[in-house]
Structure 1
Amino acid sequence: MRFDIKPRHYDPVKEEIEQRTARIKHQLEADGVLSNGKNQDIEEAYRRAEGSSIRGAFTQGSPIRNKPSDLFSSAGMLRMIILLILVGTITGYLYWGIDALYTLLYIGIGIAVVLFLIRLKGKANE
């Protein structure tokens, strides 16, 4: 007698695709787009039902099209501001000493408080 083990492989991605396909097929059958007896192309029926196409689907969510409208939301602008603050702090310390650091610290805290109050006021108006 031989010992024979047949390995089983579980693929969660494949199973999820099959579940999604079955769910979409069931939904199309419920909407009357797909008939139970006929073997239509599911992709074509789904396109007719939803009116969607895959063309341009990947570019809709791209970060290039959805540029942030707020100045401080942009990552590049935020990096530039941080760089300017660091260069200004080091330059001020080298030329004027510790008094320049304290002055920049107080100015920075003042700007932060003003920005916080502006954002707080904007949220209160909504």
Structure 2
Amino acid sequence: MKFPSVFRTAAPMRFDIKPRYYDPVREEIEQRTSQIKRDLEAQGLLDKDELTSREIGSYGAGIRGSFAQHKGIKERDGVNMFASTAMIRTFIFLLLLGSIFGYVYLGPVIFEYMAYAVALVAAIYFFFRLKPKKKYE
């Protein structure tokens, strides 16, 4: 039920598209040529497989089959899990989130604790990175 109002509400907009360039003569010529082609194909004078370059288009042959050849996203072989950008972003996000919550609960001393933790993780990482690998493995 609609209540009476002083203000006029907007009515929904209607979609009305009008062609910009309509040429009735060209339309009639295209209809005639398509009818003549159908008649010639029905009589057997024109092959259906016979296409002109205008009907195919200048770029049609390059596009045909290109989606079928797509194999999907390739998996990376032998790439370190920590080298991916998603993992680095996750670590940075967790570091920022931990620093915010730590600052709220512990105060400014959390930054000192986090500095020690980062230094410890970096030391462990560089220790295993610089350690010579065994020749027999």
TMscore range, shorter length:
0.3 to 0.5
**Which has the greater radius of gyration?**
2
TM-score in terms of structure 2 length: 0.42
More helix by share: 1
TM-score in terms of structure 1 length: 0.45
